Amino acid sequence: MKKYALSLVLIVAGAAMIAYQNFFSGSINDLEVKIVNTPLVMPAAYKVYGNPEAASGRYYLFKMLLTNNGSRPIKNVKASYEIPKFVEETELDKISVINPGQSIVVTCYPQFKDDIVTKTTSSKERAKITIASAGGEKEEEFAFEIRGRNEFVYTCINTDEIRSYKDMYDNDPLTACFITPEDPIIKYYTQQIQQKVLKGETASVTNDPKEAVRFLLGVYQATNISGMVYSGTSGVPSKLDDVQSIIQSVRLPREVVTGNTGLCIELSILYASVLMNAGLDPIIYLIPGHAYPGIKFQGQYYAIEATAINGDGLGGRGTAEQAFEKGMKQLNEFIKAAQMGDERYNIIDVRELNAQQIRPMELKDDQFMREKVEKIATAWESGALPANAGGTMVAANTAGNNNDGGGSVPPPNPDGGGNSGGGGNSNMLAYNGVVSFSYPRGWQGMRSPNPGVPQLVYAFVSPDQQGYLQVYSVPGAANGNQAMQAIQQQLYAQGQEVQFQNAGSNGNFQMFQGMTTSDYGQLPWQAYFKKTGSGMAGLVVASQSGGHNGVFQQVLSTLR
C-alpha cells in the first residue's frame, strides 16, 4: 500500500485543485463595485423612477458596476438595496456567476410607495446596498436627497456639463408627473365645470373644434368666477452635489383649486389635468419666464392665457374671450420663435409623455377638499358659459386674413416656415410664411415633410390625398430658375427627376410648369416663385388625379 502513497497524494491534490476551482466561490472581496447615482429624487416622479421603461430608463436611482478582479468565479451573487423609511430591503438582481474579469451592471429603479407624495419637505437620505455571495458579503452606501412633493428641480445635469437653455430645463418632461387627471378631487372639479359652467359638453366625442374651445373657455370661466387669483411661489437656485438648478415649488392642481390661487405653470398644470380628464389632448406652451395652457385638436393647436384672471390687486380680470384671444396671439408669437429655432420655446405634450410612461402621481380622495370644490362650484351657476361661446371664439380667431390674428395653428417646428391662421372666408384658412395664400379648410398641413429636401418648408394635402400645395424657400437663389435648379438637384439625389420650363410671370411671381418622374409615376405641377430678402420662395400646386383646378384657382388668387 505504501508504494501507492505518492500516486494517491497526486490524485487527491489534483481533485482538490479542480474542486477548489469549480465548487468554491471566489471571495466577495475580489468584487470591485462602482456606483453612479442620481443626486436627488422628486417624489412627484416616483412612478418614473420605478419604471425601467419610462423615458427609456434614464431616470434610475443608481446603477452599479460589479467587476470580478479575482481568479475564481464568484457564484450566487445577490444584490439588494434599502432606503430606510422609504423602501424596505429589496432584491435587485440574482447573478448565478461572475467570471474572473467579467463585469455586470445592476440598475436600480426604486419602488417607492404611493405615500411618498405626502412628503412635503426635503431630506437627505441614504441608500444601503448589500452584495452577498457564497464567498461573503459586502455593503455599500450613498447619500442623495428626496425633495418635497411640490418641488420641481429643472435639471439634474452636472453644472460643468450645462451648455444651453435646454440643458437647464432638462427635467421638463417630468412636469407631466404633476398633471393629475385621475386625482379624485380634479375629477370632481371637472364634473362640476361640465355641469355648472358648460351645462353639458361634447368636446371629446365630436370633431367640432368649437366644442373643444368652449371647454377651454369653460375652465377659464370656472377659475375666473370662483375668484381665483394669480400668485407666485418660491423658485430658488439651489446647489445639490454637482448639480445647480432652480427648484420651483409647484402647487398640485388640487391645491390650486382649493387654495384658489396659482402661478402660470400651476394654472397650466391645472388646465392640463382638467382637459385630460375630459378626454382632450392638453398642451403646455413653455416660453422664457412663462407658461400657458392649450389643446391640440384635430392636428390644430389652441391656447388660452390662464393668468388673465390676474386678481383685483393686479389690475382686474380678463374675460374668457380676452384670455383666449391673448392665448392665440401668444401662440402665433410662439410659432414664429420656434420656427426661428429658438429652443426656449417648447411644448409639453401630455399624452405623448404619458405614452413614454411618464405618469402622474397617485393621490387619494379627501372629503375636506371635495367639500371645498363643492363650495367653490356653487358660485358657477350664475356664470355659466353661453352655448355658442366656443363657436364665436373660433370664428373670431379664424376669420380675417391677417398676420396677427389668431386662428388654429399647426404644431411648432423650428425647421419649418410659416403658420396657418384665419382665411378670407369660412371655407378657407390662411397660410402666412415666406409666401401667403388661403387654402381650403380640411386640407392637412405638415412642416418640413421631407427632411431630405430642406427647401420644402410646408406642405398641404387634400382630404382625398390627391391634391398638393407645397411651399418652398430657397435661400441664396437669385431667380426662379436658380431656385428650381436647386430643388431639381436635391430631388435628383432622392431618385426623382424633375423637368421644368419657364411659363412667364404674373406680378411678382415667376411661373414654371413641369413634371416629376419617380418610382411613383409622373406628376405634373405648376410653380410660382418670388424674390425674398434672402433668396426665392414659392408655391407649387399639383394634383395626382388632374383635378382640383377650381381649388387651385382660389388658392392662386390669394397668393402674395
Partner 1 sequence: MCNIITAQEIKPFKINLEFTLDEYGNSKVIYSCKMNASQWDNFKRSTGNNQSLLKREIEKGLPAFFLSDFEYKEDAMDRSYSLSFNAKGVATINSKGKWVVDLDAKNPDVTKLSDNTYMMITESSAGGQLIQTTNKLVFPESATDIKEEKDSFGKAIFTFDMGGSSGMGKAMQYGGIGLIVAGLFLGWRKSKQA
Q: Is 546 in the site for partner 1 (CB under 8 A)?
A: no
Residue whose CB is less far from partner 1, 363 or 498: 498
Min dist. Cβ of residue 440 to partner 1 (A): 14
Q: Under rule CB under 8 A, how many of the chain's residues touch partner 1?
A: 87
Q: Does 236 bind partner 1 (CB under 8 A)?
A: no
Residue found by looking up cell 422609504 in the block = 86
Which position has the grid cell 371629446?
204
Per the structure block, which three cell numbers stand in for 515?
Answer: 413634371
In the complex, the smallest distance separating the C-beta of residue 23 from partner 1, rounded to whole angstroms, is 12
Single residue of 45, 95, 129, 373 touching partner 1 by CB under 8 A: 95
Residues 6+ apart with CB under 8 A from 145: 39, 40, 41, 122, 123, 124, 125, 240
| Least distance (Å) between residue 403 CB and partner 1 | 25
CA distance 481 to 278: 53
Spatial CB neighbours of 529, under 8 Å, sequence gap ≥ 6: 472, 474, 480, 483, 484, 509, 510, 512, 536, 537, 538
By CB under 8 A, what part of segment 262-321 binds partner 1? Answer: none
Which residue's CB is nearer to partner 1, number 75 or number 149? 75
Minimum Å distance from CB 543 to partner 1? 9
User: Residue 245 or 277: which CB sits closer to partner 1?
Assistant: 245
Nearer to partner 1, 114 or 497 (CB): 497
Site for partner 1 in 405-424 (CB under 8 A): 413, 415
Tell me how far, at minimum, the Cβ of 115 lies from partner 1, in Å. Answer: 27
CB atoms within 10 A of CB 194: 19
Shortest distance, position 58 Cβ to partner 1, whole Å: 5
CB 71 within 8 A of CB 60: no
Q: Which is nearer to partner 1, 58 or 85 (CB)?
A: 58
Cβ neighbours for 38, distance < 8 A, ≥ 6 positions apart: 59, 60, 61, 62, 144, 156
CB of 198 to partner 1, least distance (A): 35
Burial of 419 (0-12, 13-18, 19+ CB in 10 A): buried
Footprint of partner 1 on 156-185 (CB under 8 A): 157, 161, 163
* String of contacts with partner 1 for each residue 47-86, x by CB under 8 A: ---------xxx-x--x-x-x---xxx-------------
d(CA 394, CA 213): 7
Minimum CB distance to partner 1, residue 519 (Å): 7
Considering only residues 423 through 462, tell me which ones interact with partner 1, judged by CB under 8 A. 444, 446-454, 456, 459-461
Cell 384671444, located at residue? 325
Residues 122-161 that bind partner 1 (CB under 8 A): 157, 161
CB 480 within 8 A of CB 501: no
Residues from 467 through 526 that contact partner 1 (CB under 8 A) = 468-470, 487, 491, 493-496, 498, 514, 516-521, 523, 525
Closer residue to partner 1, CB minimum distance, 84 or 101: 101
CB of 122 or CB of 466, closer to partner 1? 466
Segment 23-52, which members bind partner 1 (CB under 8 A)? 34, 36
368 versus 520: smaller Cβ distance to partner 1: 520
Q: Is 100 in the site for partner 1 (CB under 8 A)?
A: yes
The CB-of-521 to partner 1 minimum distance in angstroms stands at 7
Nearer to partner 1, 396 or 523 (CB): 523
Contact predicate 263/271, CB 8 Å: no
DSSP-derived 3-state class of residue 308:
helix
Q: Report the residue number, 324 or 431, with the smaller CB distance to partner 1.
A: 431
* CA separation for the pair 461, 329 (Å, rounded): 26
Q: How far apart are CA 319 and CA 150, in angstroms?
A: 30
Q: What is the distance between the alpha carbons of residues 142 and 37, in angstroms, rounded to a whole number?
A: 8
| Nearest by Cα to 418 from 400, 437, 399 | 437
**Strand, coil or helix: 275:** helix
Nearest residue (CB) to partner 1, 4 versus 368: 4
AA letter at 354? N
CA dihedral over 173, 175, 180, 181, signed as positive or negative: negative
Q: Report the C-alpha gap between 41 and 177 in whole angstroms.
A: 13
The residue (of 94 and 364) whose beta carbon lies closer to partner 1 is 94
Q: In this structure, are residues 454 and 471 in contact, taking their beta carbons and an 8 Å threshold?
A: no
Select the span of 177-185, 382-390, 429-437, 536-544 touching partner 1 (CB under 8 A).
536-544
CB of 427 to partner 1, least distance (A): 20
Burial 251-266 (b: 16+ CB within 10 A, else e): bbbbbbbbebbbbbbb
Query: Whose grid coordinates read 419602488?
Result: 111
DSSP state of 133: E
Give the shortest CB-7-to-partner 1 separation in angstroms: 4
Binding region for partner 1 (CB under 8 A) out of 95-103, 249-257, 325-333, 375-383: 95-103
Nearer to partner 1, 121 or 489 (CB): 489
Least distance to partner 1, CB of residue 100, Å:
3
